[in-house]
Chain A
Amino acid sequence: MSLFVNVTLNGLANGMIFAALALALVLIFRATRIVNFAQGAMGMMTTFIASSLLGRGVGYWWAFLAVLVIGFVLGALVERVLIRPLQGKSELNPVIVTIGLLVVLEGLAGTIYGNSSRGFPAAYSQSGLTVGHTKIAFSHFDVFILVAVLVLMTGTLVLFRATSLGLRMRASAFAGEISRLLGVRVGVLLTLGWALAGVAGSLSGLLVAPTSSFGPYFMDLVLVYAFTAAVIGGLESPVGALIGGLITGLSISYVGGYLGSGLQPLGALVLLMVALMARPEGIFARPPARRV
């Protein structure tokens, strides 16, 4: 019983992190119909920058803030330099380019920071909380993860549902040509979508790093789990990303707890295949309409 409770709590915390990265994928997919496979590697890179800042004596929260800003800039830069030239070409080209960016970033991180995995500090204690007399596998840091991702999610929803900027972003994602006619600066807003995704990606890197072997490849698996989460949620909806993240986090946590951690990626693959076979458009998507 206690194994089940702990595995569930662990899955909850992981699921929130996957939801943050899934949200980044969703933001980009909504804006530009591209899955950014380099999103995890971008988060890895910004986390390494945070690690260097901390090494130079910068305070944790200042480094945290700086890295979110760097993630914003990096996202915008990638869109302008690498993605914009591909506009109007086949959908395979951006996939290949983002994969290229993924390995370039991993190679750069390996060259600059070395191969050996180093530790990354957590914002709060990572030892489990005590409920009554038993210690559970849910720490202060896990509470922080929960709060940080919920803040991110709420912020995104408020942006899209309640502000005029969000309305313009939605308009330019769904009907670019018409929005352009109405005077919306579509190009800038697409870049903004990528930049916001960069913030979400950076946050996920900062949240994963303390609990994983922090090295150039530490975001690879997180990225594919987040992709699974985003696909379950339909790749279009922020709420879907959250639900998908929790489903993915819990599923692979149960696989890890009862069958062994080596089978977690396989569990995610099965989950993804089932999700795609049963409901390729995701749980939260509108009825599919494809333009011929």
Chain B
Amino acid sequence: MTPPVPSGSWPRAPWVRRLRLPTQPLARHLVLALCGAAILYAVTSSLSPYNDFEVGEIALYVIALAGLSLLTGLNGQISLGHGAFMAVGAYSAALLMTHTHLNLLIELVAAIGAAGLLGLVIGIPATRLKGPYLAGMTLLLALALPPIADKWSTTFGGDQGLTTTVPSAPGSINPEEWLAWIQIVGALITLVLLANLLRSRYGRSFRAVRDDEIAASLAGIHVARTKVIAFVISAACAGLAGAFLGLSTGVVNTGEFPLTLSIQLLAAMVLGGTGTLMGMWWGAVLLVYLPQWSTSLSGDFNLGSGASAYLATIIFGVVLIVVMIAAPTGIQGGLRWAWRRVWSLRSGPGDGTPTVSRHPA
């Protein structure tokens, strides 16, 4: 059996050793997250409010993409309906904001819980399904959920949608920067938790189930439970990202969660590097900036105002096809390969033990 998409095993990279980072996973991930936080703090405090807003959007997409990457790259399940889980998270948080005056943290936890619950409902039949069946079911989910909000428009606000409120920033921090910080902290916490999860017994059983279900069950892994857990975690990540998206846009309506969103998430995940967590930053940058680039590009070619949205769609589709055929490991896989080449050239032939690469070059 060939392993699905690219492999997601993480050999200890040489730079981890060179930099003398802690070898204990939790400590190492925390150190990396703190470094990331420092860099992002420097970036956001030097940028304009609008750029802060964009950094926050990148952070929220990283959360959704990391969950998708875990599901597809490390557990071998595919979802074409992650936009639906984002919608559930966004609507749950927005409903609480409209009807109650709870702490933002509680609203976010509720969004995570609601999306996770839907993930459980979808994940249980999914355990019996192989690739294309699950893909079709999640595709149907992405098309089935938004009309529900239109049907019960008094609850869900119809076309107008529900409005969200960002808690006011302390001191003299401007609101965009404050929101970006909430989102960045959310993204970093999610990444640290997922990175630890993947280094744990659960991560190993995710990969074992992906590579060979029969062998995994012989080794004592409960295959169905493992697949459901992966699906719920992935859906919960999308729920948090959806709640954050609602905060960014200020309103939550069905127009924000079309089928295209789910497919764009898939494209960004594949481009970033399926099965990686850090690669999702590349994918998130693409999600935030590609629509802008395609608008300016269609302006350059005089394609008319309506064409820019379609141009972005075409680019996402081409990314999916080209990456899958030519470079299934995505950007992060390519960077790792290049990095390993550089180190092996530096250290010279015959130095150190040969590493077994599971990444197809």
Of A66-74, A87-95, A148-156, the one touching chain B: A87-95
Q: How far is the CA of A91 from the CA of B324 in the complex (A)?
A: 12
Q: Which residues of B contact A224 (CB under 8 A)?
A: 136, 139-140, 143
Interface residues of A in 30-80 (CB under 8 A from B): 34-35, 37
* Residue A260, interface by CB 8 Å: yes
* B260 contacts across to A, CB distance below 8 A: 103
Taking CB atoms, residues of chain A closer than 8 Å to B2 are 88-90
Q: Does B186 contact A (CB under 8 A)?
A: no
In the complex, the answer to whether B137 meets A276 with C-beta atoms within 8 Å is yes
Q: Residues of A at under 8 Å CB distance from B? A: 29, 34-35, 37, 82, 85-86, 88-93, 95-97, 99-108, 110-111, 114-115, 216-217, 220-221, 224, 227-228, 231, 260, 262-266, 268-269, 272-273, 276-277, 280, 292
Which residue of chain A has the shortest Cβ distance to B264 in the bound complex?
A103
Residues of A within 8 A of B69 (CB): none
Contact A102 B128, beta carbon cutoff 8 Å: no
Whether the Cβ atoms of B144 and A265 lie closer than 8 Å is yes
Which residues of the partner chain A approach B318 to less than 8 Å between Cβ atoms?
Answer: 100, 104
Binds A, one of B24-32, B99-107, B305-313: B305-313
B259 / chain A contacts, CB cutoff of 8 Å: 217, 220
- Give the interface segment out of B145-153, B198-206, B219-227, B237-245: B145-153
Contact A263 to B147, CB < 8 A, known contacts A86-B324, A224-B136, A273-B137 = yes
Q: Is B97 close to A, CB under 8 A? A: no
> CA–CA, A272 to B126, complex, Å?
11
Smallest CB separation, A244 vs chain B (Å): 13
Contact residues of B between 141 and 181, Cβ < 8 Å to A: 141, 143-145, 147-148, 150-151
**A residues near B311, Cβ cutoff 8 Å:** 107, 111
| Bound-complex Cα distance A228 to B137 (A) | 8
Tell me the dominant secondary structure on chain B's binding face. Answer: helix
Query: Given B72, B140, B214, which contacts A228 in the complex, CB threshold below 8 Å?
Result: B140
Asked if A34 contacts B132 (CB within 8 A), the reply is yes
Cβ of B135 and Cβ of A37 under 8 Å apart? yes
Q: Which residues of B contact A227 (CB under 8 A)?
A: 136, 139-140
User: When the two chains form their complex, are residues B320 and A97 in contact, meaning their CB atoms are under 8 A apart?
Assistant: yes
| Contacting residue for A92 out of B78, B128, B306, B307, CB 8 A | B78
Closest residue of chain A to B318, judged by CB?
Answer: A104
Distance between Cα atoms of A107 and B128 in the complex (Å):
34
A95 surroundings in chain B (CB, below 8 A): 78, 131-132, 135
- Find out whether the CB atom of B132 lies under 8 angstroms from the CB atom of A110: no
Among B80, B144, B150, B325, point to the contact of A97 (Cβ < 8 A). B325
Residues A107 and B310 in contact in the complex (CB < 8 Å), given A91-B4, A269-B144: yes
Within the complex, the shortest CB–CB distance from A280 to chain B, in Å, comes to 5
Return chain B residues, CB-CB under 8 Å to A280: 128-129, 133
Max chain B C-beta neighbours (<10 A), residue from A82, A220, A269: A269
Shortest CB-to-CB span from A189 to chain B, Å, is 21
CB distance from B215 to the nearest CB of A (A): 9
- Cβ-defined contact, B307 with A110, below 8 A: yes
Cα distance A227–B139 in the bound complex, in angstroms:
10
